[in-house]
Amino acid sequence: MGISGLLPALKSIQVTRHLSEYSGKTVAVDAYVWLHRGVYSCAIELATGKATNKYVDYAMHRVRMLQHYKIIPYIVFDGGPLPAKKGTESERKARREENLAKGKAFMAQGKMSQAREFFIKCADVTPEMAFQFIKALRAESVSYVVAPYEADAQLAYLELAGFVDAILTEDSDLLVFGCQNVLFKFDSVNATVVSISRKDFGAVATSPGDANSISLIGWSDVQFRAMAILSGCDYLPSIPGIGLKTACNLLKKWKTPDAVIRAISIEGKKSVPPGYSKQFKLAEKCFLHQRVYCPRQEKLVHLTDVDSDWNEEFDAYVGSDIEPTLAKGIALGNYDPDSYLPIKDINPDFLPRALKPIHMETNTPSMTSKGKSKARQSLPTPVKSGGGILDFFGRNPIIPAAPPKKKPVAIPMKHQTVSVGKASGKRTLSEVMDQDLAHKKRHRHSYSPIKSAQSRFFSANDETKFGSVRRRHSDGLPPVAGPSRTHANKENFHVATDAEDQKLEDSESDMNVSDLSLQGRIDEINSDGRVSLNIEEFSDVVEQEDGYLSPSSSCSKDAQDLSSPPGPSRQRRVVSLTGVIPSDDEEEADTSFGAEVVSSPVSVRKPKSRSRFHNEKTPLRRIAKSKSKAAGESQVVVLVASTPSPEGKERLYPDIDDVPSPTLYCGPDLRKMLGDEETVLDFNEKVKSVSGSASPPSPSSETPNCNEQQPARFIDVVDVDALEDEDDPRWQQELVAQSQAAVMAGWKQRWALPPAKTPLQARRSVQHVITQRHPIRPLSPKMTSKKLKTSPPGSSRPTTSRAFELRRSDTNVTPAGRHSLANYKPPRSAPSKLFGTSGNSNSSMNPPNIKQLDKGQPRRNVLLFETVKVSGKGNGSASSASSQNHSEPIDLTMDDEIEELDPTAWTDEMVTTSARARLSHFRCALNFFFTSFWLC
């Protein structure tokens, strides 16, 4: 793929950049790479025909990661094969089938690891699989487009036409297509990319030390492209013996590719294949004029306009035109770009949801099925909401004759126990629908759907359904990161396993996650001697951080704007790709080559007014413009369904430029508790106005599935009956208060610890609190003293011993206590800063030496505490004395905190009692879970 050796040759202008530097930008993404890597994780399932959506999870995680850094993703899928490339495909297919056969043979012998080896080799990304990804993208209102032919050309077009600011890919071809900003080597751990900007081409170093380097000074786009083609590209293999360097040098000498070809053949050392010159021109046409889908005009267009010498042969070679309706169907992902037949939904059961509850089916390696079932029983999930979305994405709106879905027979209630696994979590359709209906009824009054610009592929009917889905997330819930997510995280507390930790590390890009894990703390020692963790605090802190730092929803909402026609300022720029290699006319060739110098910045390319984020100040205006445009012109492009409440969004995200950090608008308002009363009213207004869409999904690696037992937010409400009526306002009130208080506790602990300057120190303090309050010694003191070095002498091994002690669950943390260096942020001293409206833009954040930091600082282990049974008993009083010497005790008892922080919310005796009851219920459940877990 691509131009071999090109990226190494451009090493000197490669810049490693942090994703946050692209905050506010729209980035087109080559979906193929992500899907292909995602396939790696489930090669066996795919090869054996088992339904899986792991590859979607993988890709969606990356999407959310971009969103997390306020990058608006625009996912681009590969389309049909170009005539120019058809030859290679059949060969690959043969190899795949061979590997599949080998894999199956190994599997039949039970040699799974070897089978997997071959299954990976035969893994292919099919349009059907892409469609699964598309379903998830639709659910989260992420812009996407399926290219009619090659994703590369489509990506190039999106940038050229101003739909996006940069392109994320692995294919060096994009540079040959003339793209300006290409990002390679997406690193999800460090949140970095390697950027190559066309404007830097002139600066390609020719230092003697760099053997690979080539000089592009004074080169035009035409020459650069000629070099790439001569050295061998996807459309044309090179003349044997000609590589990048030779092509570069020959072009320097002979100026035009024709002259080069002539020179090579005259020299006679290398044999030029017959018709090479013509093939060369065809290849060039592909790079220049390949057919792409224009989301604005809703039809296929040439990447750049063709000129007078265009002929039918060229036209066919760069991809035949496709009738606009079909072209749009393909672009939307509804039709197979190869066969033109409607895409088959290979996994109709996979129904992504926009909001992801963290569910329990975490396949913990050490957990036996016995443990699982126990855990399930201990955590019954009252069915609260269902899949209003169920038949939304299941049926493809564009396909007229979709087979009706078979309704499973309703199962008796007693079988509806919790079940958290993917397979076991399914509920019957009718059941879900009934509940859904009931749920809707209950909350109808609070919802008024606002219609917004929608694709005509989403019928009114669908729209309504979509609205109901959206609404579901907020129904009966406080407008901000409230109890739903609180409880979801409670359920998820079992993530305190190594595997899950790893997962967290991989999936969560927040440096804070690791810090926060510590903030779960021992709350009490039960009568039976077991240690209870105060999950409230733990989970809520995580929730808070997660919710605050992950503006996924915000971005996906903004991405929705993108699905509307691009702003008026976006003008098609046809620049610097106009050069054409003239046939055999030397003179013409010279003028052509002299015309555009590749090293010079393309002036028209990035006029300042171009950026939506500068030109159109607020999303409101942006939408207004889109709407007026929509009214004025018939060419409205909506590639994805809209969210039902753009108005709300307007107020939530008044101006993306002015949003200092993602923490500002997501999550519960804590200023009230923090004493900042002035701004709270204003904020509350905002929150109310967007009630329902303000709770952002976390950038989780897994895509929510409607079929799974939903919603996790009620997982701990085992004694709902503490309040007789669910509609009791106190119910909500309590949840809000509980959540806010818990979040507040997290904030306070995080920020208000006495001189807790660094996360490390903060953690130290927390540890002191833990050890001091409860005479519990860490299970492996070695770890504490050696790896951690955070425990002061004495506290790591209290002389006393209870019946239980803590066991650490390790995860990687940098010495600074950060989850990932990529997420490095300068320490913020006070929470009030977070709420300042004139904060610095994220884009200013540019960790200069990410790589250095990463290499220089070994990762360390710390983190979660779990209860573990140990032998021996003792009295627990001694250790607290020992640890008192070196800690400033911050006693963060949950109840204290709550009462202290928000008395109004907790004066109601009933509410408090209920909360406590539920808390203790949950603790029991948790204890049970851990116990069964560790016993296994």
Partner DNA sequence: AACGGGTCGTCTC
Partner DNA sequence: CGACCCGTT
Cα(293)–Cα(584) distance, integer angstroms: 33
In the complex, minimum distance from the CB of residue 240 to DNA, in angstroms, rounded to a whole number: 5
In the complex, minimum distance from the CB of residue 68 to DNA, in angstroms, rounded to a whole number: 16
| Three-state secondary structure of 240-290 | CCCCHHHHHHHHHHHCCHHHHHHHHHHHCCCCCCCCHHHHHHHHHHHHHHC
Mapping DSSP to helix (H, G, I), strand (E, B) and coil, where does residue 231 land?
coil
Count of CB atoms situated within 10 Å of the CB of 673: 21
Nearer to DNA, 58 or 393 (CB): 58
- The piece of 231-239, 349-357, 726-734, 923-931 that touches DNA (CB under 7 A) is 231-239
Residue 510 carries which side chain, given as an amino acid letter? D
Applying CB under 7 A, which of residues 58, 131, 493, 933 lies at the interface with DNA? Answer: 58
7 binds DNA (CB under 7 A): yes
**Virtual CA dihedral for 923, 925, 929, 931, nearest 10 degrees?**
70
Mapping DSSP to helix (H, G, I), strand (E, B) and coil, where does residue 181 land?
strand
Q: Report residue 143: phi and psi, to 5°.
A: -70, 145
Applying CB under 7 A, which of residues 199, 344, 443, 503 lies at the interface with DNA? Answer: 503
244 binds DNA (CB under 7 A): yes
Two tokens at 703?
Answer: 């895509």
C-beta of residue 171 within 8 angstroms of C-beta of residue 1: yes
229 binds DNA (CB under 7 A): no
H or E stretch including 28? strand 26-30
Cα(119)–Cα(612) distance, integer angstroms: 45
Applying CB under 7 A, which of residues 51, 259, 399, 499 lies at the interface with DNA? Answer: 499
C-beta of residue 317 within 8 angstroms of C-beta of residue 282: yes
C-beta of residue 544 within 8 angstroms of C-beta of residue 515: no
247 binds DNA (CB under 7 A): yes
132 binds DNA (CB under 7 A): no
Two tokens at 303?
Answer: 């990447």
Cα(131)–Cα(773) distance, integer angstroms: 54
Q: Report residue 75: phi and psi, to 5°.
A: -85, 130
Nearer to DNA, 507 or 663 (CB): 507
Applying CB under 7 A, which of residues 103, 232, 579, 778 lies at the interface with DNA? Answer: 232
C-beta of residue 253 within 8 angstroms of C-beta of residue 215: no
Two tokens at 392?
Answer: 């939304």
Cα(9)–Cα(721) distance, integer angstroms: 68
Helices (H), 30-111: 31-40, 43-47, 54-68, 86-108
What are the beta bridge partners of residue 76? 30, 145
170 binds DNA (CB under 7 A): yes
Nearer to DNA, 108 or 211 (CB): 211
In the complex, minimum distance from the CB of residue 454 to DNA, in angstroms, rounded to a whole number: 33
Q: Compose the 442-481 pattern: x for residues touching DNA by CB under 7 A, - for all others.
A: ----------------------------------------
- The piece of 165-173, 434-442, 737-745, 850-858 that touches DNA (CB under 7 A) is 165-173
Nearer to DNA, 175 or 690 (CB): 175
In the complex, minimum distance from the CB of residue 24 to DNA, in angstroms, rounded to a whole number: 26
Residue 233 half-sphere exposure toward CB, CA atoms < 13 A? 28
Total residues contacting DNA (rule CB under 7 A)? 39
Applying CB under 7 A, which of residues 120, 410, 779, 890 lies at the interface with DNA? Answer: 120
590 binds DNA (CB under 7 A): no
Nearer to DNA, 232 or 778 (CB): 232
Angle between helices 759-773 and 729-751 (to 10 degrees): 110
Find the binding residues for DNA in span 760-819 (CB under 7 A): none
- The piece of 2-10, 66-74, 144-152, 643-651 that touches DNA (CB under 7 A) is 2-10
Helices (H), 530-611: 535-549, 552-563, 586-595
Applying CB under 7 A, which of residues 128, 323, 506, 585 lies at the interface with DNA? Answer: 506
In the complex, minimum distance from the CB of residue 153 to DNA, in angstroms, rounded to a whole number: 16
C-beta of residue 204 within 8 angstroms of C-beta of residue 10: yes
In the complex, minimum distance from the CB of residue 925 to DNA, in angstroms, rounded to a whole number: 24
In the complex, minimum distance from the CB of residue 370 to DNA, in angstroms, rounded to a whole number: 16
- The piece of 64-72, 244-252, 881-889, 896-904 that touches DNA (CB under 7 A) is 244-252
Distance of CA 18 to the CA centre of its chain: 15
366 binds DNA (CB under 7 A): no
Mapping DSSP to helix (H, G, I), strand (E, B) and coil, where does residue 878 land?
helix
272 binds DNA (CB under 7 A): no
2 binds DNA (CB under 7 A): yes
Two tokens at 291?
Answer: 């057919």
Nearer to DNA, 178 or 232 (CB): 232
Nearer to DNA, 182 or 469 (CB): 182
175 binds DNA (CB under 7 A): no
Contact residues for 149 (Cβ-Cβ < 8 A; gap 6+): 79, 80, 81, 82, 290, 291, 292, 318, 319, 337
C-beta of residue 33 within 8 angstroms of C-beta of residue 169: yes
Nearer to DNA, 214 or 694 (CB): 214
243 binds DNA (CB under 7 A): yes
Two tokens at 739?
Answer: 């959540």
Nearer to DNA, 238 or 554 (CB): 238
Applying CB under 7 A, which of residues 435, 556, 701, 879 lies at the interface with DNA? Answer: 701
Applying CB under 7 A, which of residues 28, 84, 196, 242 lies at the interface with DNA? Answer: 242
The alpha carbon dihedral of 47, 49, 54, 60 has a sign of: positive
843 binds DNA (CB under 7 A): no
Q: Compose the 17-56 pattern: x for residues touching DNA by CB under 7 A, - for all others.
A: -------------------xxx-xx------------x--
Applying CB under 7 A, which of residues 50, 85, 86, 92 lies at the interface with DNA? Answer: 92
C-beta of residue 170 within 8 angstroms of C-beta of residue 184: yes
Applying CB under 7 A, which of residues 211, 266, 401, 409 lies at the interface with DNA? Answer: 211
Identify which of 183, 706, 848, 695 has the alpha carbon closest to the alpha carbon of residue 422: 706
* DSSP secondary structure string for all residues of 771-817: HHHS---BS-HHIIIIII--SPTTTSS-S---SEEEEEEEEEE-TTS
Nearer to DNA, 204 or 244 (CB): 244
Count of CB atoms situated within 10 Å of the CB of 712: 26
Contact residues for 815 (Cβ-Cβ < 8 A; gap 6+): 760, 857, 858, 859, 860
209 binds DNA (CB under 7 A): no
Find the binding residues for DNA in span 306-365 (CB under 7 A): 363, 365
171 binds DNA (CB under 7 A): yes
Two tokens at 71?
Answer: 């990058």
- The piece of 97-105, 140-148, 234-242, 443-451 that touches DNA (CB under 7 A) is 234-242
Nearer to DNA, 372 or 384 (CB): 372
Q: Compose the 186-205 pattern: x for residues touching DNA by CB under 7 A, - for all others.
A: --x-----------------
What are the beta bridge partners of residue 813? 860
Nearer to DNA, 51 or 779 (CB): 51
Nearer to DNA, 145 or 250 (CB): 250
645 binds DNA (CB under 7 A): no
241 binds DNA (CB under 7 A): yes
Q: Enumerate binding residues for DNA (CB under 7 A).
A: 1-2, 4-5, 7-8, 36-38, 40-41, 54, 57-58, 92, 120, 170-172, 184, 188, 211, 231-232, 238, 240-247, 363, 365, 499, 503, 506, 701
